Amino acid sequence: MRYLPHTEEEIREMLRVIGAKSLDDLFKTIPDDCRRPQELNLPDPLTEWELNTHMDALSARMHVPPEVKVFLGAGSYHHYIPEAVKQLLLRSEFYTAYTPYQPEISQGTLQAIYEYQTLVTRLLGMEVANASMYDGASALAEALLMAIRITRRKRVAVSSLIHPNYRRVIETYLEAPGYEITYLPALEDGTSDLSGLASLEEYAAVAIQSPNFYGCIEDLKASGKKIHRDPKTLFIVSFTEPLAYGLLVPPGAYGADIVCGEGQSLGIPQSFGGPGLGMFATKMKYVRSMPGRLVGQTVDKDGKRGFVLTLSTREQHIRRERATSNICSNEGLCALASAMYMACLGKSGIHELAQLNHDKAEYLKRGLREAGAEIPFSAPIFNEFVAKLPPSFKEKREKLLREKIVAGLPLEPYYPELADHYLFCATETVRKEDMDALIKEVRS
């Protein structure tokens, strides 16, 4: 049954009132080369079972685990998710919950978000975390804007080893208002080169990703010391794989002012790229400049513990000029999933899982090196790394795709100087047999 809210007569009357001859006139401000002049070439309607068959055929073309052995990371990681997390997320009070504006009837959701914030601060070694943001890329862009607000400086330095897609989002956020971005080059060991930061007084912040896009772990201790030679310049640490901090010293221990990134690895399926989870934590002294919202703990008039939205500095709640961002919501269900995931594993479980990821990646890296691949970067890694292979590997990679093995991500489209370099990843989901099969193919 079609839903047509207006009759033809009503449409003609509305067009007459605004002085338009047709509905097409409403879109005349859109350039002709941006409009489709003809109707969409859609196929005939399908029955329900025909549509199911069609969708099954489309899904069969997708290269996804477990049917396909995927050695890709690059910002989206395949991890096992405990069944308890999947089932608890389906509870209606969580699954259908909306923004908790009324704390008296939203205590469950508010407490869950509060627990999420607590777990994030412990994982990242920070003092306060917000109730999540959209994704890792926008979280990093918001962190840079936050630094600009705090320092009143209009220039930021960003490592070229931050995820390329994150850097594109940063440019979208910062270039229109006229803020300047300086990109820091890479060292031969695969980490960021900060030697060009001679005059820190002009920078609002310096942003580094660890592990970076090459999979290399940055020296955050040395970076923090160098950046904080100017006390006003903020030290921002980004990440795409939060599980790494189950094994590594958290950024907060090295003096990071803001830590942000993608939380997809913590109990959220890849889902062909979304939804994600923007994790964001900072020092307490910067809490009022933090974007998004913050759930706090309080007591009611009877002295009983309760939870409220303590901070929600967006334009819908306060004067527009004082809003810290245009983030209109948090990824509540995804944040809840990550909180359940971290709670299910616990501190020791996250550590053991992180160690397993590291060990499997090291096994694959060593095997590929012995098979003839060159490992160009000497910096330590977590669960992904770069390998240089002969030009002939391009054809072999296509062959492996047909055999349901995705053998690394070509880096040339992102870094033209890295032709024949591939980014490989191994998480706990990758079996030793699958790694051995890949190593054998590279050796042959």
Q: Is residue 291 pLDDT above 70, yes or no?
A: yes
Please name the residue that has the structure tokens 């890479």.
186
Nearest to 99 by CA among 315, 290, 293: 293
Same CATH fold, 83-342 and 69-81+347-443?
A: no
- Assigned fold of 83-342: Aspartate Aminotransferase; domain 2 (3.40.640)
Q: Distance between CA atoms of 255 and 236, rounded to whole angstroms?
A: 10
Q: Distance between CA atoms of 188 and 102, rounded to whole angstroms?
A: 54
- Residues 184-209 have pLDDT tens digits of 999 999 999 999 898 899 999 999 99
- CATH number corresponding to 69-81+347-443: 3.90.1150.10
Q: Is residue 367 pLDDT above 90, yes or no?
A: yes
Nearest to 309 by CA among 318, 301, 322, 319: 318
- Please indicate, yes or no, whether the overall pTM of this predicted structure exceeds 0.95: no
Q: Supply the mean pLDDT for the chain.
A: 92
Q: Is residue 66 pLDDT above 60, yes or no?
A: yes
Question: How does DSSP classify residue 43?
Answer: P
Q: Distance between CA atoms of 344 and 418, rounded to whole angstroms?
A: 40
Task: Give Cα 176 distance to the centre of its chain.
Answer: 22
Element (H, E) at 347: helix 332-370
Cα dihedral value 84, 89, 93, 98, nearest 10: 160
Domain boundaries, the chain: 69-81+347-443, 83-342
Among 125-139, 230-244, 302-316, 426-440, the range scoring the smallest mean pLDDT is: 302-316
Among 30-44, 336-350, 405-419, the range scoring the smallest mean pLDDT is: 30-44
- Residues 317-355 have pLDDT tens digits of 555 666 777 665 668 889 999 999 999 999 999 999 999
Q: Which residues contact 409 (CB under 8 A, 6 or more apart)?
A: 72, 73, 74, 422, 423, 424
Helices 164-175 + 136-151 axis angle, to 10: 40
- Residues 50-65 have pLDDT tens digits of 999 999 999 888 878 8
